[in-house]
Structure 1
């Protein structure tokens, strides 16, 4: 019986101000206590609901989902819990939450509950609410009569501990008078009693005004519950019975695709096929294909799978917004992920790479055995992807689309500083500890301490340090705030709240579910990804009309000459020192070499680079386990690099279909041990039936097993290598355009900016110093017959913001600045203050007007009427020297 008791008011970390409970800790704790059911009731949201549901089922715990909301009834507010009794209840709760966010400032109206409560939702009313110190008997009678009328069997009164004896007795009296069952509830905000201090710290960080924090809001044992509610044991019994009444069985993984609008008279599948055949014929006329029938056969095979899986609308939707983007001159990526392996994608101009030419496999993207929707991740110019999202919302309707929510979490250093402030530790001590914790995205604070001997020793010996670290470990990674996912968009066939709840953030409708959970409920999700490389390419095209990307030839020998020299600063994916050394060593001569090197230069397969280079340069013999593998591994000199090669090896050696081969690859890469044993036996038996000896079949399987962990998606590598080649071509023929664009978009990264400037100098580009009359916002290529020149932009100055730059340029349009005094008189001194002008002087902006910088500083001091002593004057002059030195280090020309 004790394990059947459920806490019906439990908050997780997603109720930011009221809990420190993480989902994995909650499930682990419940499993340890052998709990049969768990309930979560976060405030005003269902963020965690799907994840909680799946984790509970995985651990054989019954999931109960609810929400804590505030009911507004005739000018009065009541703290309520709405608990899902069944699936319909869950959908109704989603709608109620969405309405409360959209129309009623997080409150709910009684009218919204009338239709929902009868059979689907259970309401638990808290009369001892934080809104009222005393219970108003008349008001309570009104709300109770209404709720009882519409919701007789699914209505409970919440009873807490004896905080206020009068209220406690009144609730019992109301329960008896109106025959409403009482429910024993102790709010849960932390799991264990000794977690209170960590909870107090989090409350201090996020809600400093809050004074009352109960030590008793932890996960009570059944013994403690019995003791607390010993006078009204019926309330405990009611809670146990209620948990039995709540039965949620969500239908997951059922695809719900939106509809692509075409003429009603046309069949969408016929329209789809006709369009593709027409595009294939047009492609054939342009390229004069030798094997047109092979292309047509592949196309029909792909279309058959797409139609069978009812994904025609999906492909047409993507085709439509990519087509619109290109029409509006928005830069779109050549492809991303496995979608580049689809001929359908290529013929619809979603991707820019012929998959058959580079032996890319459709089954890696989509096959008949795949259950989930494949991902169409599309790259856009970072500056313009919002235009595409707006187009989607306009085309399909605001009620049918939403963006995806993301959560910012408490970072390691931030948690250390906040906790230090709570304990009123010395600032220097907090700062010292914060600096010791070096940010590592792969390790949390606990792992950093364990892996660092000096930190671990300090942790063991210094009590103050240990205290700060222990609480930081507890609060690290906690949810801080919600924000908008930059590129995630959802499109649904019906109104969005029929499938999931949403919230409004900065006037944007956001889906409440995690990005990965959307796939579980079958809603179509798109990733509109912003890629800075596309923005740089767009910037180059805008500044130089001679740049035509479509005319680039992938066999341009001048481009490969630059590659073999390792002269690839500014070239997408080939900028690091390591990859440049690899380029020098491997001497790439064709596009396939670029694809292979990018795929190899990653943790894991990087150990095969030396072997690859030696075999490529004929310094090492190329060997194959079987002659059947030669055609597959020939382009990579006998080394397995791609996931597609693994699929082809399985197909040719053991007569697997490509769909079966992809499933085998997934099993091996995910290291599913039991499935792997079964697949191994199946593979060997099928290979033997295909006239391959047992020992050789075993060797081939082990080879596949080894490389499946490293294998890269060739479709993605090939599509991204196209972007690499575009930037390589720009570096070869339009280097000043490319470098000025790179400088303009990486101005915030001083180290990278310095590398770009130094590389420009090596490539005989003169960097002209900043000038108050001639410089623009961005770094600009200057027209010159003899030399390539780039003028330094205002963007590259630290401390000069966007508004200041725009203001200076706006004033300058009315006439150039004739002198420093002329500049001073014309600017807005509130916006362009003393500090900003000092920066402009010290970096040489006024050198063309007056090269005497120290004299200008003296004038500036007089103009702003600042009293300076000799020491301050020395510091100002020192600043001029170091600022000048900085520009000289960048090898600027004065």
Structure 2
């Protein structure tokens, strides 16, 4: 009966979740339901599974619309029909072509038109007309006796009740970006689009039993045969399964000899892993990943293989990863084990400049019919809900801003705000629009449209409508091809070292980097600005607290910095036990046996598996489910509660005290969504070492590469600060010396033209092309004549100092530029000139210019001055202590001045807001501060600038900071700078 049901994956239209739709259908007594979302098959497989579990027959299809115009329903009779629907949708969604009024589809698909759209005698054998119960009276004027077999019941289901209808209207207004009061009836569903009881529907069609019969026959004709649990990834890489096995074995053994020589332990483990990989049918999965890496290497692209895939020695031998699992005693079963039903997971990082080419290769190599980027769902979040509902209700922006910052403000007194709170709660977590997963790619054995329709985002690669959870549920497992700026830093730094110093760097000499004493000293001092993953204030402090100077400690630090470990108190516990390893007792002797390496603290995801299996007696398969549930991938997994019950029951049977069991479970739970596998941390640590090596021996080139690849944790000003600290001479942009990106020659660094705010890219390109073709510019008039640059763009160049080679100050140049503008325009109209005009000479009064004016121009056009912030502040640096003095002042109250870098706000246990600040002092050293709630309230930070602070010096395991009690932003100098 219900051939036209929608969920909230009909974006900004439907109001049911998929589970709610099935539950409502079950309560209504429906024997079958058809899912027909608007131009989408996104939740087809979730719906399919839920229906089977509920004892309801699922019918799969979609509702096709052009904008607000309903065209027809498509219902798949079988799996080939579903593939045809997905292909039909994909073609039009990707090309943005309107859907045709009459689709050309095979007999595997039912096409159901609305009443009146097509005459019954014009229908093909697979075409029908849908009649709503509210439309039955229209049949009285029609002679349908001859064609009664062409009519079926179509009862649309869009919302549950009146409140659901109101929510639907709000969604439609948000989608149209209009006031609710301006909404028209053709923009929303009809008021009766909800579940009617089967009895009411049958009663409405009492005079037309043939239509009821036709409807039931259509439902009966739809049947699907598919094994959702079967692996649907590409199964064969070469020509056969046997050939895949042989090739993988050859590549692994060749790589083993290269990596390990004749190491017997490595040989034994490679053989073991190959057997498991082959038994589980994942040879092709490894070979596809190897093939992607091989292509990237052939193009000179750098990559990092991380995630649990780095637990595998086969992956190490295939150069998918650079993490040695034997060195770190990595747990292969975390990655792949006979109990695990799902395939392994590889995360491959590339530079943002290389990633799209790698993705393009995968599409071309494995065929666009079999490859897609993985989709993702963007949901409504709190602030967006308030803003969107505020707009459709017509609230002024100022009032909306107030609600966002304090959503409960005055809502009891205001009816509109009551509506926003009420319906906002319903919208929380609602799908908002389809998006793209950060890096997931699907490579399927059958055409991808057998499982999902495809869209074409601006990125230009076909993208599945399904997300990673649905994909995994039906046996499609992603390979992650990710973008990461850190690799761009490394790649460009190596290139700059080659160009600037004539040296080649073997960036894969990881073992050499680990043993390098100067690199170790960099880590120990936390001199890590610009280095991947280890430059943030929290990470720098952690490195100091752990006295980190070796690879294994860095691996641990990369994991315990994660929120799951940090927020549970286990990071603090780890640091304390690191410094005093004999000062504590293990929870249980078994925990010492399992976690002695990490002082009894669970640090890695593998620790969850080890503890669940060896401490609590959970089998490997369930231990992995527990680990995946705790990592956030499978929250709500059906078996999770049973595993928890078994965990506690087993612990009781082993005689563990309840308090110990509770504490072990608490530590496991703290991992929720934030923990790393040890291999993942090790992969990060390898890349950190590569960055550290470059920073240690080639700091100028490295920092220029960081700047040119969009920086890292901090803003660009800080990276230029680091450049100067390393001995670089940073120069403002210059039309004769700068390139588009920041360049380096010797120790001289010229800021790139692209960093000038407001300078158009085509103007910068024209300047550079003209300079390349005809040599440097000789003066202002020469520049204007050769490039025909507009006066506004020219003024930007003058103000940033890009014409300082002329020897004239900015005010002179601005005066001359505006005077010459008309003359140069006339000159450029002449197509051929026999002689070039000599530059005009101007006699001007002295136009005074100060370095303070330069700094103000730089702040406006670059976002930061090229001098120190302290040079601009109205203060006497001699009255303040410096960071270097803090170790001798622990416990004392001091005054210090710091230039603001960044801040991190957190909530205390009492839900009060406090923050941690990061500054640099007048010597350029890093200053960390703590601002408790009272200080945060009384002395809020006010953005960039220099601050006077008073507070107490604190020593936390060698990391010095100031607990700030008072704070004041210092004004800028008003007089002329020297």
Q: TM-score range by the shorter chain?
A: 0.7 to 0.9
* 1:581 Cα deviation from its structure 2 partner: 1.7
Q: 2:152 aligns with which of 176, 183, 202?
A: 183
Aligned to 1:3: none
Distance 1:645 1:11 in 2: 43
1:200 Cα shift?
4.2
Mapped contact 2:86–2:449 kept (Cα < 8 A) = yes
Q: Does 1:713 align with 2:672?
A: no
| 1:602-681 matched pairs, under 5 angstroms | 602-606=562-566, 607-618=569-580, 621=583, 623-625=585-587, 630=592, 632-649=594-611, 662=624, 665=627, 672-681=640-649
Cα distance change, pair 486–890 in 1 and its aligned pair in 2 (3 A):
farther
**Could you say which residue in structure 2 is the equivalent of 1:588?**
548
2:256 to 255, 266, 280: 280
Q: Give the Cα–Cα distance (whole angstroms) in 1 for the partners of residues 275 and 4 of structure 2.
A: 51
Q: What does residue 829 of structure 2 align with?
A: none
Distance 1:747 1:851 in 2: 34
Q: Partners of 1:680 and 1:505 in 2: how far apart?
A: 48
Residue segments in structure 1 that go unaligned for 5+ positions in a row: 1-5, 72-76, 130-134, 439-451, 689-693, 867-872
SS class of match (1:823): helix
Residues 779 and 233 (structure 1 numbering): CA distance in 2 closer, same or farther, change over 3 Å? farther
Correspondence 1:128 to 2:116: yes
CA distance in 1, matches of 2:778, 2:660: 80
Deviation at 1:888, TM superposition (A): 3.4
Confirm or deny: 8 A CA contact 1:780 1:792 kept in the other structure: yes
Quick check: 469-478 or 854-863, which moved more? 469-478
Q: How far is the alpha carbon of 1:488 from its aligned partner? A: 2.9
Over 3 Å counting, the alpha-carbon distance change for 1:622 and 1:712 in structure 2 is farther
For 2:851 and 2:27, the matched residues in 1 are separated by 68
Q: Contact (CA 8 Å) 1:20, 1:475: kept in 2 or not?
A: no
Structure 1 residue 605 displacement after superposition: 1.7
Q: Aligned pair 1:459/2:411, yes or no?
A: yes
Q: Deviations over 1:832-855 (max 9, x none)?
A: x44433332222222232542233
Q: CA 1:107–1:820 in structure 2 vs 1: closer, same or farther (change >3 Å)?
A: same
- How far is 1:714 from its partner? 0.6
CA 748–225 in structure 1, closer or farther in 2 if over 3 Å, else same: farther
Quick one: structure 1 residues 603 and 247, their matched pair in 2 at CA, closer, same or farther if it must change by over 3 Å? same
Greater Cα offset, 248-257 or 261-270 = 261-270
Question: Counterpart in 2 of 1:49?
Answer: 44
Work out the CA distance in 1 between the residues paired with 2:665 and 2:533.
27
Q: C-alpha distance in 1, partners of 2:278/2:92?
A: 40
Q: Structure 1, residues 623-681: CA drift from partner, whole Å, max 9, x if none?
A: 44566655653432343322324444566667887667545655777693332222444
Q: Which has the higher helix share?
A: 1
1:436–1:141 CA distance, 2 compared to 1 (3 A): closer
User: Which residue does 2:527 correspond to in 1?
Assistant: 567
Which sections of structure 2, spanning at least 5 residues, go unmatched? 824-846, 872-977
Separation in 2 of the partners of 1:64 and 1:436? 43
Which of 318, 327, 341 is residue 289 of structure 2 equivalent to? 318
1:158 aligns with 2:150: no
Which one of 770, 779, 802 corresponds to residue 819 of structure 1? 779
**Counterparts of 1:16-31 in structure 2 under 5 Å?**
16=11, 18-19=13-14, 22-23=17-18, 26=21
Determine which of 701, 709, 721 is the counterpart of 1:745: 709
Output the CA distance in 2 between the equivalents of 1:369 and 1:352: 27
Is 1:404 the counterpart of 2:353 in the alignment? no
Aligned residues: 815
Cα shift readout 1:421-462 (whole Å, capped 9, x = no counterpart) = 54444xxx3144236525xxxxxxxxxxxxx5xx41322233
Contact kept? 2:156, 2:194, Cα under 8 Å? no
Please tell me whether the aligned partners of residues 79 and 450 of structure 2 are also in contact (alpha carbons under 8 angstroms).
no
| 2:865 aligned residue | 888
Q: Can you list the C-alpha shifts for 1:552-606, whole angstroms capped at 9, x where unaligned? A: 4212221222222222211211222222122222211321111111211122322
The answer to whether the aligner puts 1:512 opposite 2:512 as a matched pair is no
Asked if 2 retains the 8 angstrom alpha-carbon contact of 1:253 and 1:372, the reply is: no
> Which protein is richer in strand relative to its size?
2
Moved more, 556-565 or 502-511: 502-511
In 1: Cα distance, 2:367 partner to 2:589 partner: 57
Residue among 787, 795, 798 paired with 1:841: 798
Is the 8 Å Cα contact of residues 323 and 679 (structure 2) preserved in structure 1? no
1 CA distance for matches of 2:719 and 2:302? Answer: 23
| Cα distance in 2, alignment partners of residues 731 and 639 from structure 1 | 32
Secondary structure of the structure 1 residue equivalent to 2:71: strand
Q: Distance in 2 between matches of 1:529 and 1:457?
A: 42
Deviation of 1:322 (Å) = 0.6
Query: Which of 143, 146, 168 is equivalent to 2:122?
Result: 143
Q: Is the 8 A contact 2:260 2:266 kept in 1?
A: no
Relative to structure 1, is the Cα distance of residues 458 and 55 closer, same or farther in structure 2, using a 3 angstrom cutoff?
A: farther
Q: 1:332 to 1:22 in 2, by over 3 A?
A: same
Q: Distance in 1 between matches of 2:629 and 2:175?
A: 44
Matched-pair contact (CA < 8 Å) for 2:707–2:719: yes
1:761 Cα deviation from its structure 2 partner? 3.3
Structure 1 SS opposite 2:39 = coil
Q: CA deviation at 1:306?
A: 0.7
Q: 2:354 aligns with which of 384, 401, 404?
A: 384
Cα gap change, 1:476/1:676 in structure 2, threshold over 3 Å: closer, same or farther? closer
User: 2-side partners of 1:591 and 1:125: how far apart?
Assistant: 66
**Residue in structure 2 matching 1:805, options 760, 764, 768:** 764
Residue 90 in structure 1 maps to residue 82 in structure 2 = yes
TM-score, length basis structure 2: 0.74
